């Protein structure tokens, strides 16, 4: 990496969306403790993910990234982790079958705590308080005390992430992720619920698995049927946390963000001369860049040059999030900028962040139809431009929440209050997430 970079060089540059920590001693202590702690991920895993994303960038694999908008201390439990992991695996099996290629699986998990906000303060009933910035910084409760940034929260987020990734490693390697078991869950779902209109595709997957079994290709013989590679990701927003978990790989001398396998730069923090781009350019992890309507082709070219000067495949995933009806206004010129540069990138679609609306009864929600609509526009534009739509990025949970409306489970504006638990943006529930995978699968079938 470039000689003028070090893990603290971001500190000299303008930063946005980061808290002013009121207690500097507490901050020093938390950073010290994190520097002494083991990293959450290791260089070899990060390199393997980069290779796999390189395959996606060449059109030979597909990316599925999903999980909470914001992980929280309140929702933390083994069941929550297991349920999100299981739905992601079910989605991946459906996508693998349709895309006829491997699916790289990345959770927004084990570190997705810090949130950028559209306003620095929030007003309720005439009272103005600092905004909630994620459990790693302050508390959701609407009191002056709760909203004070507290650096000790970084240590709690670290411990929760460590326990989460430990469980994910056990699930993905220990037999829980066996493809037959994962597909059996999907069948339970398609046979018993409104989602049965996807029965036909599910039964074709059953046939394929039965055929493989008959031909002697079972999970005892083929380890990839029993184990999965599963990776973690989050927005690298809280740079004190990122810096404190940055490690030098003893094999190569490379700097690695030890906080998660892939880290991304948010739509609000991607200033080419800002602190977030500076930190990310020096670590070797795969990087995501959120691409919203304000990203110009010129800025994208600068970002690609700065973050991936050697044009390494798998290094950059561009996560498009424009909103339904707007993809055609913004995506084609970015695709052309990428192709002008000859840049190797993965193109992924985040149909969540451009489609958030507020209902009359005051809930922040997203319509299933808008989410699917944006995914379809994304596929159509890539097909017209001759580029590869390499993946999807969802905010979702394995729980039966009522945060997004629509889909076969027919959540309506009126039921949003039933189980609205998100600490930040509305997530797809397990039925909606799986249904979306079936619908994305239909799009993918047209590609192959
Ligand atoms: C997010 O992914 O939760 C997020 C805040 O996204 P964006 O930066 O695209 O708004
Ligand atoms: Co979000």
Residue 1 scores a pLDDT above 70 = no
**Distance from the alpha carbon of residue 251 to the mean position of ligand 1, in angstroms:** 34
**Distance from the alpha carbon of residue 183 to the mean position of ligand 1, in angstroms:** 31
pLDDT digits (tens, 9 = 90+) for 411-420: 999 999 999 9
pLDDT digits (tens, 9 = 90+) for 118-164: 999 999 999 999 999 999 999 999 999 999 999 999 999 999 999 99
Q: What is the mean pLDDT of residues 6-29?
A: 98
| Per-residue pLDDT at 406 | 95
Give the separation between CA 18 and CA 64, rounded to whole angstroms: 28
Residue 116 scores a pLDDT above 70 = yes
| Per-residue pLDDT at 38 | 98
Instruction: Choose one of 353, 364, 395, 425 to mutate for the ligand 1 pocket test, by most ligand atoms within 8 angstroms of C-beta.
Output: 353
In this structure, the residues whose C-beta lies within 6 A of any atom of ligand 1 are 69, 116, 235, 266-268, 290, 292, 321, 353
Banded model confidence at residue 2, pLDDT cuts 50, 70, 90: low
| Per-residue pLDDT at 197 | 82
SS3 272: coil
**Distance from the alpha carbon of residue 368 to the mean position of ligand 2, in angstroms:** 15
Return the structure tokens found at 29: 């202590």
Question: Rounded to two decimals, what is the model's pTM?
Answer: 0.98
Which value, in Å, is the radius of gyration of the alpha carbons in the chain?
A: 21
Return the structure tokens found at 104: 């790289």
Q: What is the mean pLDDT of residues 189-206?
A: 86
Give the separation between CA 18 and CA 69, rounded to whole angstroms: 17
Q: Which of ligand 1's atoms lies nearest the C-alpha of 350?
A: 9
**Distance from the alpha carbon of residue 426 to the mean position of ligand 1, in angstroms:** 12
**Distance from the alpha carbon of residue 340 to the mean position of ligand 2, in angstroms:** 31
**6-8-10 Cα angle (round to 5):** 100
Give the separation between CA 446 and CA 448, rounded to whole angstroms: 6
Q: From residue 367, give the alpha-carbon distance in Å to each of 174, 276, 427.
A: 37, 31, 11
Collect residues with CB below 5 Å from ion ligand 2: 69, 425
Banded model confidence at residue 193, pLDDT cuts 50, 70, 90: confident
């Amino acid at each position: 990496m470039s000689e003028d970079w070090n893990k603290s060089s971001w500190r000299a540059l303008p930063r946005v969306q980061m808290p002013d920590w009121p207690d500097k001693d507490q901050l020093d202590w938390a950073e010290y403790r994190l520097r002494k702690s083991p990293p959450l991920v290791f260089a070899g895993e990060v390199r393997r993910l980069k290779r796999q994303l390189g395959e996606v960038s060449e059109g030979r694999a597909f990316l599925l990234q999903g999980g909470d908008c914001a992980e929280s201390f309140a929702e933390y439990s083994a069941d929550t982790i297991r349920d999100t992991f299981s739905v992601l695996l079910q989605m991946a099996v459906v996508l693998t079958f349709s895309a006829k290629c491997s699916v790289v699986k990345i959770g927004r998990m084990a570190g997705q705590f810090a949130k950028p906000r559209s306003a620095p303060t929030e007003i309720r009933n005439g009272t103005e308080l600092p905004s909630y910035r994620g459990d790693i910084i302050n508390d959701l409760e609407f009191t002056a005390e709760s909203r004070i940034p507290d650096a000790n929260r970084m240590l709690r987020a670290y411990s929760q992430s460590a326990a989460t990734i430990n469980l994910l490693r056990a699930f993905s390697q220990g037999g829980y992720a066996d493809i037959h078991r994962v597909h059996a869950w999907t069948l339970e779902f398609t046979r018993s619920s409104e989602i049965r209109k996807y029965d036909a595709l599910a039964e074709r997957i059953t046939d394929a698995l039965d055929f493989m079994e008959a031909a002697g290709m079972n999970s005892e013989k083929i380890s990839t049927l029993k184990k999965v590679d599963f990776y973690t990701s989050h927005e690298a927003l809280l740079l004190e946390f990122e810096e404190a978990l940055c490690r030098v790989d003893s094999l190569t001398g490379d700097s690695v963000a030890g906080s998660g396998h892939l880290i991304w730069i948010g739509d609000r923090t991607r200033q080419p001369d800002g602190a977030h781009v500076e930190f990310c350019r020096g670590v070797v992890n795969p990087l995501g860049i959120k691409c919203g309507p304000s990203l110009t082709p010129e800025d994208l070219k600068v970002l690609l040059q700065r973050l991936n000067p050697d044009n390494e495949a798998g290094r950059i995933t561009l996560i498009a999030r424009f909103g339904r009806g707007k993809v055609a206004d913004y995506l084609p010129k970015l695709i052309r900028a990428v192709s002008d540069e000859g840049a190797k990138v993965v193109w992924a679609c985040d149909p969540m962040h451009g489609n958030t609306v507020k209902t009359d009864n005051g809930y922040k929600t997203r319509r299933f139809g808008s989410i699917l609509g944006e995914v379809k526009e994304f596929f159509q534009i890539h097909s017209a431009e001759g580029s590869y739509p390499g993946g999807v990025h969802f905010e979702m949970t394995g729980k039966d929440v009522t945060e997004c409306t629509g889909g076969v489970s027919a959540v309506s504006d009126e039921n949003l209050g039933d189980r609205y638990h998100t600490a930040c943006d509305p997530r797809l529930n397990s039925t909606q997430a799986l249904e979306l995978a079936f619908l994305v699968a239909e799009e993918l079938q047209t590609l192959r």
